Amino acid sequence: MAKGLFLTFEGCDGCGKTTVLHHVSKLLAEKGIPFLLTREPGGSHIAEQIRNIILDRKNVAMDPRCEALLYAASRRQHLVEIVLPALEKGMLVLSDRYLDSSLAYQGHAREIGMEEVYSINLFAIDGRLPDLTFFLDLSPEEGLLRIRQSADREINRLDLEKENFHKKVYEGYKILLEKYPDRIIRIDARQSIEEESRQIVDIILQRIKD
Q: Which is nearer to ligand TYD, 92 or 112 (CB)?
A: 112
CB of 205 to ligand TYD, least distance (A): 25
State which amino acid sits at residue 81: E
Does residue number 38 form part of the binding site for ligand TYD (CB under 6 A)?
A: no
Give one word for 151, left, alpha or beta, with left for phi > 0 and alpha for psi -120 to 50.
alpha
Entry field: residues in the chain: 210
| Cβ neighbours around 183 below 10 Å, total | 15
Cα dihedral 16→158→141→188 (10° resolution): -20
Q: How far is the CB of 42 from ligand TYD (least distance, A)?
A: 7
Helices 157-179 + 140-151 axis angle, to 10? 140
User: Does residue 71 belong to the site contacting ligand TYD (CB under 6 A)?
Assistant: yes
Check binding of 40 to ligand TYD (CB under 6 A): yes
**Binding to ligand TYD by residue 13, rule CB under 6 A?**
yes
Burial class (CB in 10 A: 0-12, 13-18, 19+), 198: middle
CA torsion 85-92-182-79 (nearest 10°) is: -30
User: Does 18 engage in binding with ligand TYD (CB under 6 A)?
Assistant: yes
Name which of 15 and 201 has its Cβ closer to ligand TYD: 15
**Which of positions 82-111 make contact with ligand TYD (CB under 6 A)?**
96-97, 101-102, 105-106
Least gap, CB of 166 to ligand TYD (angstroms):
9
- Using CB under 6 A as the binding rule, whether residue 137 contacts ligand TYD is answered as no
By beta-carbon proximity to ligand TYD, the closer residue of 41 and 130 is: 41
Residue 55: how many CA atoms within 13 Å on its side-chain side?
Answer: 10
Q: Which is nearer to ligand TYD, 48 or 205 (CB)?
A: 48
> Is position 23 an interface residue for ligand TYD (rule: CB under 6 A)?
no
Of 77 and 102, which CB lies nearer to ligand TYD in the complex structure?
A: 102
Report which of 119, 77, 71 is spatially closest to residue 97, judged by C-alpha positions: 71
**Site size toward ligand TYD, by CB under 6 A:** 11
Name the residues that contact ligand TYD, by CB under 6 A.
13, 18, 40-41, 71, 96-97, 101-102, 105-106
